[in-house]
Amino acid sequence: MRIKEVMKSVKTIDPDSSVKEAAKRMAENKIGCLVVLNSGKVVGIMTERDILSKVTASDKLPSKISVSEIMTPKVITVESEDYLDDAVYLMIKHRIKKLPVLEKNKLVGMITSTDIVSHSDDIGQFFIFG
């Protein structure tokens, strides 16, 4: 199965936005991350974990911290024509749960580990029940 068959819409944010604004957007959309775009180019990804570890745990004010200060700048991505196996491999290799999806270097969607599990007919084929 191709990633484009499973991917969902993606929400983005500007790197100069505050973490408070980003957290509000994530809460409103019930999502765990935002892709950071600058002039249409992917420049980072910000997750709930980033907020917890780099803002909340450090007792910083979300309204005073910009997304660019806590985002992960090295973004692992997949292409919409890639196979789900490719996404699984990247998630395991890099220990991540979310992958922005690109088409010709343009952001077109998001795929998560939950998306993969919910669309995998082969899950459980190796379990032996007895």
Residue 11 lies in a domain: yes
Tokens found for residue 56:
């909340």
Considering the domain boundaries, does residue 130 fall inside one?
A: no
CATH number at residue 110: 3.10.580.10
- Global pTM reads 0.86
What is the pLDDT tens value at each position of the chain, 130 positions in all? 899 999 999 999 999 999 999 999 999 999 999 999 999 999 999 999 999 999 988 889 999 999 999 999 999 999 999 998 899 999 999 999 999 999 999 999 999 998 888 876 644 444 444 4
Kindly state whether residue 123 falls inside one of the protein's structural domains: no
How far is 115 from 1, CA to CA, in rounded Å?
A: 12
Is 48 contained in some domain? yes
Residue 97 forms part of a structural domain:
yes
Domain-embedded: residue 126: no
Task: Specify the number of domains making up the chain.
Answer: 1
Task: Report if residue 124 sits inside a domain.
Answer: no
Domain hosting 75: range is: 3-118
